[in-house]
Structure formats: structure tokens, C-alpha cells
Structure 1
Amino acid sequence: MANEYEINPNNGGGGGGGNSSNDQQQQHGQTTISNQRTKIKKHRLPVERSTSEIVRTYRKRFDSSNDDDDDDDYDDVDGRQKRCMKISIITDDNDNNTIRMTNRPPNSRWKQQRLPAWQPMLKPTSVFISFIIFGLLCIVIGVIMYITNEKIREYIIDYTDCRRMNPVTGLNQSEYCRDRWKYQWDSCQCLLNFTITEPIDGPLFLYYSLDGFYQNHRRYVASIDHRQLMGEQCSLTSIRSNCYPYSDINGTIIAPCGAIANSMFSDTFQLRRIIVDNKNQYEKIYIWQKDICWPTDRQNLYRNPSNGFDSYAKPVNWSKNFYDDIILNDNNVAGHGYLNEHFMVWMRPAAFPKFRKLWGRIDVRSSIGKKRRRQ
């Protein structure tokens, strides 16, 4: 059972002060608790022998005249300003004089920092040698990374102005796909011939790149409803609070809602290899569109709603809906609905206005001099 005591400090006058302090400290069971300004003398306290450890709390109150702190540190007690401080101590049955603070760390080698350690003595010679060693190590790592990077073959094709580049004649294609994308939702077809001059071992990775697209804008990044992407049935109020103005159309919830989903990159790509013997025939190259997003996104962040998408409206700038036969790619090979991996890749915002995102993989080896068509 813990008892509470009030200890009144002596301010240099009255009983218990003066020259009798040294004599009183020699008595059995007496302990002195030190403060920054005052020494408090505490006589032996009764200890119950029925338990091994008893926790007692002692409260000491100081008059405002004995403390120089601000008034905010005081409490109004009995009409006077007094400061209260609680001290928790533990007494042991085996030794009535043993008093220790409860927040004292254990007396172990780890807690008391007594483990054997080695601390180098920094001298100009040792520091110079260390810099030389680490500098050479960084040079070796840099050379290895440079050589590895030089082995990477990258072909960049800008099809923004499709017809101005190497066009395929005799085909009906738009001259300026970029202008049509701004104002119309009609599809725009672009066909280009390009030649790979060196053999490339698979796997090959197909990326699309955008420049000047600020996916890192704070309002753009916040325009998303994660609960909706997990397949939960969200209320219209919740959708509007997260996705407005791309939240609903005349009260019908948009799925998926938000500015990120509304601006999704929807271009599709096909690669065909020209057969050398007959230039009018092409061999289609399969592009694997699975496993292109983060595994954590696919496993933890996206689920299709149990009731499907029939009761939802498509995003404003989408030409197709999630439940159409063809969803952002041929035959829906990248997944259906929220589980479409092109959708998952796009929904992870890029940090910079110029970025590229993975669209697919090719697991075959190309041949020298063969042409591939990209559209």
C-alpha cells in the first residue's frame, strides 16, 4: 500500500536547519533528496514487511517566494501559489535504507554503456589514408556501374508529330495526333518504321515517356479515393470530398474517380517485324503486359467491387469504360477493372514533370537489321 507524504523544504531558517544537518544525515534510514535550489531532508519512513517492494509517492510543495520560475509553472493551491513535484521511489524490504528512482535504467553493460568499444584517434595521416581508400573504392564502383550502363541499349522514338517522322506511305493516318488529342476523343493511329542495328538480348522493356506533365502537383496527387480502389462501396459525400470535380456525373459516382484516373495515359502499342523475304508481310511480336506494376500495389491496394461497374459512370476523359470488351489494351491482357496493371502503373504519381512508365516486356531476341513497326 503506497502512502503519500508532504515534505516542506527549509529555506535556511526555522527548525531542522543550521549546523544540525550533518548530525541528522548520519542517522540510520535518513536520505537527502537534492534539488537545484533546495536540499530536502527526509527521515526514515515506515516500511511494510508483508511485500517485497513498495512504491511510495512523495509530494513536495514550494512557496512561490522560494522559486524564480515563471508564474505559468505554479498551481493555485489553498489560495497560495505553490509548485508541486512528484517523486516516485522504491524501497526494499531487505534494506530499509535503499531508495532508488523508478526511471533509473537497469544496471547492465548495455544500458550503462560499459561494453568494450574501439574509437579511432583521428590524426591527419590516418584521415588522409582513409580518404584515399574510400576514394579508390568509389572509383572502382563507379567504373563497374559505368560499364554496366554502357551495355544497356536504348532506342527512343518520339511520335508526337507522327507524319513528320519516317512515315508509312499509303496509309490514312492523322498528321498531328497531338492536336487531335487535345480536343477530341477519337482514336489517332500512328505507324512508324524503325530499324534495330544491333542484336539485343531479352528481356526488353517498353516504356512510354511524358514531358511537362506535373503529376507531383499537390492537388493532383490528392485527387484519389483509395477506399474506392479497394473495392469498397463509398458514399457520394466521401467521393466528392476526395475526388471533386471528377467525383460524379449528375449524382452517378465515377469509377475510378479523381484527376489521376481521369488523365490516364491510354495509348496502345503493337510491334511487328518485317519479314525479309516479303516486305508486305509482318510477324507480330508479343508484348507481355503482366507484372509491370509494383507487387505491393497489385496485392494490397486494388480490388474490384463485388457488384461490378454497372452502377458507375466512366471518367470524363475516357473513351471506354472498365467493363467494355477492350480496356486500354487489346483483349484485356493487362487485367480487368482496377486490376488492370497499366492503370496501377499510372496511378502511382511520378516525382518529376518528365518521367517514363513501364508499358510492357518482350522476352524474345531481336535480329540484326529487322524492322519493327510501332503504332
Structure 2
Amino acid sequence: MELLTTASSYFNVTWQKELGKGSWVFHHYLKTSSKYPWLMLYLRSDATKGFSGGYHYQTRGMSKIVPKSPNFKVKFKLTITQGGGPRGQFYLMDIGSCWKNDGSPCNGDVRSDVTRYSEMVINPDTESWCSPEKVAGCPPYHTFPNGTRVHRTNNASFPFDAYHMYCAPGNALHLEEPYNLCDAYSNPQPQEILQIIPHPVWGHYGLPHEEGIQGTKPVERHWPSIDLGTEIYISNDQVAEWTTGPMLPKNGKQESVQRKQIKKEILHLQPVSMAMSPLLDDDTTLFDVNLDGTSTSEDGGYEPIPAPKTKSKKPPPYSRFTQQELPACKPIITPKLVIASFTFIAIIFVPIGIAALSASNKVVEIEERYDRECIPPIYSDHILQYIQSVGTDKTCTRRLTVPKHMKSPVFIYYQLTDFYQNYRIYKSSRSNLQLKSKADEGSELKNCGSVQTVGDEPIVPCGLVAWSMFNDTYSFSVKDKALIVNKMNIAWESDKKGRFGSDVYPKNFQAGGVIGGAKLNSSIPLSEQDDLIVWMRPAPLRNFRKLYGRIDVDLEANEEIKVEIKNNYNSYGYGGEKLLVLSTTSAFGGKSKFLGIAYLTVGGFCFLFAIVFAIIHRFKRRDIGDTAYLSWNRSPVGYYIK
């Protein structure tokens, strides 16, 4: 025995049972040496007969059926005395199967049989051999619960830490490089092995996803074999010692089951609680569970017992969230805290409101409605005929007086009323793919409704939104000197770069029988047509302003601005108004008193509440949580006992 313990590699398995009660406990002892530093030892239950488990021998078929989840329970206790050294590993659920690559079952021909099985490494501190630097140790793809497949070369999305090791079979039909062939030293048959580590991505599949997890979700699985074992990986003179059991139902009785009932059973792997050190070298109990819902067959195997028809009384899975045990801050709301909170809000909000109102009052704005004034008197009864006429000159001249000094830049807006750009049918009448890429100019045309094609050619951009683009134009002059309108960079930069392609040019636009709005320059890509980009961003409300351009010179007080308007846009058909707006801006935006009034209102109410609570606290004070108010602390005559 001394020779064995010092110079040899060996294993020892004993069955232990107390006479007359309890069930079998299996004791395993595995030792390596310098000559044989890599050994494995498993407790295995095969549910198949024939070639199985990667070895060509007749298996016993101990489990009698191929178990299926989720209504069968497997419970056991695993106690580890020695963990096999730093590279020792313990595995759970060796789920094995043997198939040919064309899907046929194995027939014993080692040239075409491939054994495939997966294992759960129950030590969450096991180092992952699968990494971005060693993709050969990773499966080619990881599939997420929503069906998304991520290749192992995707360093940003592939969950490398979820896999310990993967190796491909030697006779795979389409072996993807780089490949990692499985060990053929002790097994002549090609294998495909997948070893996973506790990781959050496995929670959806009912597998442990973190250390100490309980109550994982049961899902359907099939187990041709169920294993529990250990491996000492290339380590000299290491020992792995562990016991598992008991292996009987909780009541300790052996029950028989009819085979017809067995075939209807479904296996439910109960989640387990894991608590282990990185090396597993101390006396550590990893699993403290018993076989529940099984019985012993005549040949020593285990068969499932039919689940009771009564409603399960098992408590729901434990989680800190459902048990309301998450960390929380529970401040005691005292009168002083309430008064201080209201006062603090008032101190913050009132100055902001005053600053916003002051900034709004400094904004200089000129607003001119021109839809009615720009209709010639002779067309007052035929407005639609006038606005729809192509040959009629629609030039209109308006004069604006600058009320105060307007510091550049002076922003020019057009304003429309009663125009519902956020109406669902209107807003969705566009092709975002077409706007972004020339290669997709024929994509999503069905969204564009009647504005899709001219003949067989697509309209770019298609849809009602682009077709109805605003087409009134403005030119400005002061003292017969023209003011240049700068239309560069009036659109959002994110829209220009992210939604409109630099290789997409207008095509067949406004070439149909009915002209909706503005035309586009076919030699300029959509990403540089700021007027279109501004118009294509839907306004949330029916009355809105959109940026037309800006004047980059100061306008002096009392100056008269001459504006020539091309009154082309048909707002008369739906009864809307058109306005021209010239405005400066402030740190809070344009001219609007709403923000300042809102802040002042909230701050004022908070200040008022602070005063009211302070008065109540001063004259109607009551001690919160004073035990003297409890009935058993009062004297018989009603006085409080201090």
C-alpha cells in the first residue's frame, strides 16, 4: 500500500451503508503520479444500451429510460475532502450522446462515430480556457435566449468566461479552424466536448449562473447519461477524494414503479447551492441534497417515481429581490427634514426661475404672419386656385421693424399651425433605409404609400413627409443692402451623420403629376440638404417652428427689414397659418416664459409649504415614536409614565 500511495497512479471506490437503515454512500479516491498525471473518475448512470460514453462497450442501461425534464428531481450530497490540486476540477451532469455527423445513431464504426457530451464545472473559480487569445478552446458560436448567434471572434459580445473548454470531433464534416481536437490518448473514438462554468448567461437555461445560486429555472433537457466526477489535469502526485450520497428518497423506502408509468416521467434537475474555495483542497460540502422522487430498481439503478397529482407545496425560488432583502435606504421623515427639504428646493428653484425669466425677456423676437396678407385681393375668393397655379407669380413683400438691437446670430424660423406632423400614417410614410444608403434606395418602399415610384423607378426620398416639404422662401435686405441668409449646419449633426447618407442623391423627386412641396437639387447628397433634414424631423405638436437659416450680422433698433416672400406652400387647404419669425437666443433657448414660470411656481409652493410646516411644528409639536404613547406605558388615570 505504501508503494501505491507514493509512486503509482490509482483509484479506489468503496460503497458504504449502515445496516438496516439509510442508503449507499459512494467514497471515491483518485491519485496521480509523474507517470500518469492526468486521470478522471466518474460515478455514471447510463440510460442507453450499446455504444455510449465515448467507449465501445455494452452499457448496462442502468437508468432504464432517457430522462427528460422538467418534472423529475435529482438530488444528492457531494462532500469533497481533497480537490486534486490547483488544476483539479469537479464536473456535474456529463450529458453524453453518440451520433454520426449526418444525424444517424452510432453503430460502433470508430471512423464515423462521434461522442458528444457536455459538462458543468461546478467550481466557479475554475479558469476559463476559452478566451479571445485562445479561440480554439471556444465553441464556434454562442446562442443567446433571443436566438442571436455570436461568433467566437466577436470579442465584444461572446461570453468567453462562460466556457471552460471546447474541443471538436476528429471526423467533423466541416471542422472550423482554428480547431482543438479532443484527447485521443485514452479513447480512440472522436469526441466533441463542451465544458461550461457558472455564468449569468446560463440562468435562462436552468443552470447555475453564479456561486451559491439557488432556485434556477427548470427547462426541458434529455440525459442519455448522468455523471458526477472529478478530473486531475496533468498534475503530479495529487489526490482527489470525495463522497456522494445518500441515494434514496427522503423517506428511505424503496418503491417499485410500473414501466408504463416510467415512460411518462420527466426529469427535473433541481438547482443546487454552490459554496466552494478556489482549489477545493479542504473538506468542503458542495451539495447538500438527497435523491428525491426516485426508487431503486432490481439491478441497482434508479427509476423516476410519478409526480403526485396534488398541487406542489414547494416554496417559490429564493431571491433577494422577491424576499425584499435588497439594500435600501429608509430615512425617517421628521418635520425638520421635511422643512429643510422644501426650503432647499425653494432655494434652488427660485433663482433658476428668475434667471430663466430674465433671459427670456432679453430675447428679441419679431413675428409676422403673412399667409393672409400675401394673397392678392383679386384671389381672395379663389385662394386654392391661386396657390395651386404654377404660372402665377406668388412674390409678396413685407416690411419689418426691429424693436431692439438684435445681436447676431439672428435665427430665422418658419412657423406652421394646425399641421399634425406626428400623425402616425404621415410620420411613418418614409423609408429610413433609403435615406441612409444608396444600396437600399428600393427598400421599405411599401411604407411610402402612394409616393413610392415613378414608373418602375423609386422616388428618392419617398413618402409623404419628404413630398410635403415646406417650400416658401425668404430674402432680406436693409437699406437696399441684401442680408445673406446662412443655411449651413441648421440641422442636427446626429441626423446628418446617422440618418442621411452621403452617397444618396435625390431621384425622381417631385416628378409626379401632383407637386407637394419643395424640390431638391439632384446633384447634392441628402446629408448636405439641411432644409430637408430639418423638415424630416417630426414636430411633436400641431403648432411648430422650424429653423430656416440665420443672419450673421447685428440688426440695429428701428431698422426696417424688407422681406420678399415666395408664398408657395399650401397651408390654405387645411386652414393653417404661416408665420415668419426672427429671434435671438439666450442660454435657456428662445423667447419663452414657461420655463421660468414653472421653476418659480414650484419654488414658491415649496417655500410656502416650508413656512406652513415650520408653523405647525412650532405650535403643534408632537414627538414621533415616543414610547410613552403606548397603552401599556400609561397610568390607569390616563397620565403618561416617563
Which residue identity does 2:401 align to in structure 1? T
Are positions 1:342 and 2:377 aligned together?
no
Cα offset, 1:129, TM superposition:
1.9
Mapped to 2, the partners of 1:213 and 1:283 lie a distance apart of: 35
Task: Return the match for 1:223 from 426, 429, 441.
Answer: 429
Are positions 1:369 and 2:558 aligned together?
yes
Residues 228-272 of structure 1 show CA distances to partners (whole Å, capped at 9, x for unaligned) of 212423364x34322122111222211110111011001111111
Equivalence for 2:362: 151
CA contact (8 A) 1:229 1:304 kept: no
Which residue identity does 2:372 align to in structure 1? D
Cα offset, 1:226, TM superposition:
1.8
SS at match of 1:190: strand
Within 5 Å, give how 1:1-375 maps onto structure 2. Answer: 15-16=21-22, 42=77, 44=79, 49-52=84-87, 54-57=89-92, 78-80=263-265, 83-87=268-272, 89=274, 90=276, 92-99=279-286, 121-163=332-374, 179-180=384-385, 183-185=388-390, 188-234=394-440, 236=442, 238-273=443-478, 275=479, 282-305=480-503, 309=506, 312-314=508-510, 316=512, 317-318=515-516, 321-323=519-521, 337-374=526-563, 375=565
Change (3 A) 1:296 1:41: closer
Cα offset, 1:147, TM superposition:
0.4
Equivalence for 1:69: none
Alpha-carbon RMSD across the aligned residues, in angstroms, is 4.0
Which residue identity does 2:561 align to in structure 1? R
Mapped to 2, the partners of 1:216 and 1:302 lie a distance apart of: 20
Equivalence for 2:106: none
Mapped to 1, the partners of 2:366 and 2:262 lie a distance apart of: 80
Mapped to 1, the partners of 2:78 and 2:343 lie a distance apart of: 65
Which residue identity does 1:229 align to in structure 2? L
Which residue identity does 1:198 align to in structure 2? K
Residues 172-191 of structure 1 show CA distances to partners (whole Å, capped at 9, x for unaligned) of 99768963576444562221
Which residue identity does 1:259 align to in structure 2? L
Which residue identity does 1:152 align to in structure 2? V
Mapped to 1, the partners of 2:538 and 2:421 lie a distance apart of: 5
Cα offset, 1:337, TM superposition:
4.5
CA contact (8 A) 2:445 2:462 kept: no
Which residue identity does 2:351 align to in structure 1? V
Change (3 A) 1:217 1:303: same
TM-score for both structures, normalised by structure 1: 0.66
Q: Percent identity?
A: 22
Mapped to 2, the partners of 1:313 and 1:198 lie a distance apart of: 42
Change (3 A) 1:304 1:58: closer
Cα offset, 1:153, TM superposition:
1.1
CA contact (8 A) 2:76 2:287 kept: no
CA contact (8 A) 1:248 1:313 kept: no
CA contact (8 A) 1:225 1:239 kept: yes
Change (3 A) 1:264 1:176: farther
CA contact (8 A) 2:460 2:508 kept: yes
Change (3 A) 1:373 1:130: same
Consecutive unaligned residues in structure 2, runs of 5 or more: 1-19, 26-72, 95-217, 222-260, 289-325, 566-642
CA contact (8 A) 1:239 1:253 kept: no
Residues 298-324 of structure 1 show CA distances to partners (whole Å, capped at 9, x for unaligned) of 223222447x55x63536425775346
Which residue identity does 1:139 align to in structure 2? V
Residues 214-235 of structure 1 show CA distances to partners (whole Å, capped at 9, x for unaligned) of 1101122211112221242336
Mapped to 2, the partners of 1:362 and 1:268 lie a distance apart of: 15
Change (3 A) 1:42 1:258: same
Which residue identity does 1:270 align to in structure 2? S
Change (3 A) 1:134 1:49: same
SS at match of 1:269: strand
Which residue identity does 2:531 align to in structure 1? H
Cα offset, 1:46, TM superposition:
7.6
Cα offset, 1:87, TM superposition:
2.5
Which residue identity does 1:359 align to in structure 2? Y
Q: Bigger CA drift: 340-349 or 176-185?
A: 176-185
Q: Bigger CA drift: 226-235 or 350-359?
A: 226-235
Consecutive unaligned residues in structure 1, runs of 5 or more: 1-13, 18-23, 25-37, 60-71, 102-111, 276-281, 326-334
Residues 15-40 of structure 1 show CA distances to partners (whole Å, capped at 9, x for unaligned) of 439xxxxxx9xxxxxxxxxxxxx9x7
Mapped to 1, the partners of 2:378 and 2:283 lie a distance apart of: 97
CA contact (8 A) 2:420 2:541 kept: yes
Change (3 A) 1:16 1:43: farther
SS at match of 1:157: strand
Mapped to 1, the partners of 2:82 and 2:268 lie a distance apart of: 28
CA contact (8 A) 1:185 1:319 kept: no
CA contact (8 A) 2:486 2:550 kept: yes
Which residue identity does 1:95 align to in structure 2? D
Change (3 A) 1:319 1:205: closer
Cα offset, 1:133, TM superposition:
2.1
Cα offset, 1:195, TM superposition:
1.4
CA contact (8 A) 2:421 2:540 kept: yes
Mapped to 2, the partners of 1:139 and 1:176 lie a distance apart of: 53
